[in-house]
Amino acid sequence: MKKLLIVTTNYSGCACNKPFCDCISATGVYLEEFAVPYLVFQKSDVETVVASPLGGLSPVDENSMSCSNPEEWDDCIKILRDTKKLSDLYLEEFDGVYFPGGHGPMFDLAEDKETARLVEYFFNSNKLVSAVCHGPAGLVNAKTPDGKSIFNQKRVTSFTNEEEGIVKLKELVPFLLEDRIKELGGIFEAAKPWQEHVIVDGNLITGQNQNSALLIAEKILEFFSKT
């Protein structure tokens, strides 16, 4: 049995209450990007542990909540209410890590030192590192032993600049993820907006958007089946 760590955000949005605040007021985990893979793993022989930098509540992005969501996603919301704390875990027990998106990771996981440390452990140990949509924000500060970004010369994708523009949040995020990945030496590959798109390059698996959630889960299972 393989054991997968799922790392989620604690960031729920800006709470400064300024009258002309230019921050994202409400965000978190995009539910589909957590629930779809989580349920796939539950039906497989992959054991999962869900954790976040602070532990406890990992907020769900309200934009991903809909009455049309499958009822089984409700149980996934309950899981996100009580996540483990990253620093309490023994990384050696895990065979890989997965980062779901939502805009939340852009604000906390991208800056969290514990997150960068765990990504470096998995990547440099040739264990699975995977992320979808804005999830790759959690990987931006991770480096190889020679000090280069783990993205350097790797084929990779994420939520694109074009998609960020479509949702009208291009000016509100702390950085554009596509641009940052390119700056770090990544070979960025984008599909058309909202198209299912996942790239596998060695032990690094990345997906472009929420519509890639099922495919990235399948690619993670495929990776585990070969290791």
pLDDT for 16-42, tens place per residue? 556 555 667 789 999 999 999 999 999
> pLDDT tens across 193-215, in order?
999 999 999 999 999 999 999 99
pLDDT at residue 22, rounded to an integer: 60
- DSSP lists the bridge partners of residue 46 as 2
Does residue 15 register a pLDDT over 70?
A: no
pLDDT at residue 67, rounded to an integer: 85
> pLDDT tens across 85-113, in order?
999 999 999 999 999 999 999 999 999 99
Considering only CA atoms, give the Rg of the chain.
16
pLDDT at residue 21, rounded to an integer: 59
Residue range 180-187: mean pLDDT, rounded:
98
pLDDT at residue 19, rounded to an integer: 59
**2-225 CATH pick, 3.40.50.880, 3.20.20.10, 3.40.718.10, 3.40.640.10:** 3.40.50.880
- pTM equals 0.96
Residue range 143-164: mean pLDDT, rounded:
98
When pLDDT is cut at 50, 70 and 90, the band that residue 140 belongs to is very high
- Asked if residues 51 and 83 have their Cβ atoms less than 8 Å apart, the reply is yes
